[in-house]
Structures are given as structure tokens and as C-alpha cells.
Amino acid sequence: MTDLMQTICCHLLENHYREFLPREYYWHLTRLAEKQESDLLETLSDLQQDLLDQYESTRNEMRSHELEAMFQAAWNAARELA
């Protein structure tokens, strides 16, 4: 990804993408996930919590790459349609 594309992608992720999420449904899922995570953490040992943190870190990094790939795909589609 070029520097310009990276800058635009970061700007969109920081400022605009949430506008396109289905509000009620998404925020309901957010609250549900937070409760489930809290309930899960109460049952885990310290070692298990560390492993879960490592897993979540890896998944978050994967998600970041997936979002960048989606941005690149949308960018290319927009150029092809122009």
C-alpha cells in the first residue's frame, strides 16, 4: 500500500468507518461481547488470561490486515469503475 493509501485508510478507520455499522445491532453485540468477556475472565487463571491476551492480540493484528486488504480492494474497485 502506498503512503497516501495508508494515510487515507488510517483516517477512515479512525474517523469514519463506524458511521457505516448497523447501529442498534452492532452496539448490542458490543455490549454482549463485553459482558461475555468479563464473565470469561472471571473463570480463567492468570496463565489462561495471559494466553487469551496473546490470542486476542494476534486476532487484532489479523483483523487490521484484513481491514487494510478490504480498503485496497475497495480502492482498486473504485479506480476500475472510474
pLDDT tens, 43-55?
999 999 999 999 9
Nearest to 8 by CA among 75, 61, 54: 75
Place of cell 497516501: 4
The values of phi and psi at residue 16, to 5°, are -130, -25
The residue segments making up the domain with residue 17 are 3-81
For residue 73, name the pLDDT band (cuts at 50, 70, 90). Answer: very high
34 vs 54: CA distance, rounded Å: 18
pTM of this structure: 0.77
Q: Give the count of domains, the chain.
A: 1
Q: Do 67 and 59 touch, CB atoms closer than 8 A?
A: no
